[in-house]
Amino acid sequence: MKPPAIEDHTSGGPVSVGTPNSKPHYHPRLPWPEPGNPVIVAQGLGRELGTLVKTPVLLGIDLTIRSGEFVSLTGLSGSGKSTLLYLLGALDRPTTGAVFFEEHDITTLDDDERAELRSNAFGFVFQFHFLLPEFTVLENVMIPMLRRGKRSRDRAEDHAIAVLDSIGLTPYLERRPSELSGGQQQRVSIARAVANDPKVVFADEPTGNLDSKNGILVMEAFEKLVREQGITIVMVTHEHTFAERASRQIVMSDGRIVNDINQR
């Protein structure tokens, strides 16, 4: 089956990544919009990990991420990318320093408050999609919205349909995750991550399990979210082609930021 083309309104037409047997191609990189106000600020962020022996894995990270930025986080395995991402996304607590979201210190929040913050303001995409196998694609995207309770069931369903449509998944609404390709599954997890209108999406190697064609589709879905909805994305990746397309590339080494390149 031919993969669905993603409508890319910024380049004037649908982007095709080719048929299953053709070489994937990627539209030329367009300039990125100017970023807005700071959304996530890290100050002197340090993290030690380990039970018997404490190892410092992050060493005083200072970082400001502005709204509408698409930040890629690269660096060798073990350099601290995931650790930093989890701290910025309120999934973990730092040993020293603080993280601010829209000027509020989130490091002082208790577990329930952090869970509420994550559900209200953040979306997450991981290397493994963690979709619920017994539910359909549509239900997987609706569930976080119903849990949050901001939308009625009907409105959650309409919104889920619209979000899935925007990333080319309309033909698959009633399928189970196991009946989709890896790239389609990952795009469902992106739809799920953005369905609650998050301010920031954190992604840890979202294309790590995908072939290049599906990796491009996932990247196009992210690029579209940033350009059309002004969502802020922080994405850990090992793939340089993808890292270089982001609006900003942060490089880590041994628990520190060693390069921070504006790519707008």
Ligand X SMILES: Nc1ncnc2c1ncn2[C@@H]1O[C@H](COP(=O)(O)OP(=O)(O)OP(=O)(O)O)[C@@H](O)[C@H]1O
Question: Site residues (CB under 6 A) for ligand X?
Answer: 49-50, 55, 57, 75, 77-83
Give SS3 for 25.
Answer: coil
Tokens of 246: 């982001």
Nearer to ligand X, 74 or 247 (CB): 74
- The distance of closest approach from Cβ of residue 205 to Mg ion in the complex, given in angstroms and rounded to an integer, is 7
Closest CA to 71 of 235, 215, 258, 191: 235
**Integer Cα distance of 211 and 171 in angstroms:** 21
User: Which residue's Cβ has the minimum distance to Mg ion?
Assistant: 82
Closest CA to 206 of 114, 73, 16, 68: 73
Q: Which does 28 bind (CB under 5 to 8 A by kind): Mg ion, ligand X, none?
A: none
Q: End-to-end distance of the chain based on CA atoms, in angstroms?
A: 35
Q: Select from 61-69, 76-84, 120-128, 176-184 the region that touches Mg ion (CB under 5 A).
A: 76-84
Q: Which of residues 115-174 bind Mg ion (CB under 5 A)?
A: none
**Integer Cα distance of 246 and 236 in angstroms:** 11
* 82 binds Mg ion, rule: CB under 5 A: yes
Nearer to ligand X, 8 or 254 (CB): 254
- The distance of closest approach from Cβ of residue 149 to Mg ion in the complex, given in angstroms and rounded to an integer, is 32
Nearer to ligand X, 45 or 57 (CB): 57
Nearer to ligand X, 142 or 236 (CB): 236
- The distance of closest approach from Cβ of residue 53 to ligand X in the complex, given in angstroms and rounded to an integer, is 8
- The distance of closest approach from Cβ of residue 208 to ligand X in the complex, given in angstroms and rounded to an integer, is 9
Do residues 46 and 97 touch, judged by C-beta distance below 8 A?
yes
**Crossing angle for the helix pair 137-148 and 182-194, to the nearest 10 degrees:** 20
**Integer Cα distance of 58 and 83 in angstroms:** 8
- The distance of closest approach from Cβ of residue 29 to Mg ion in the complex, given in angstroms and rounded to an integer, is 25
Give SS3 for 1.
Answer: coil
Q: Which does 79 bind (CB under 5 to 8 A by kind): ligand X, Mg ion, none?
A: ligand X
Cα 126 to Cα 30, 49, 92: the distances in Å are 26, 21, 15
Nearer to ligand X, 21 or 51 (CB): 51
Nearer to Mg ion, 195 or 252 (CB): 252
Only one residue has tokens 């900003």, namely: 248
Q: Which does 184 bind (CB under 5 to 8 A by kind): ligand X, Mg ion, none?
A: none
- The distance of closest approach from Cβ of residue 176 to ligand X in the complex, given in angstroms and rounded to an integer, is 29
Closest CA to 68 of 189, 225, 178: 225
**Where do contacts with Mg ion occur on this chain (CB under 5 A)?**
82
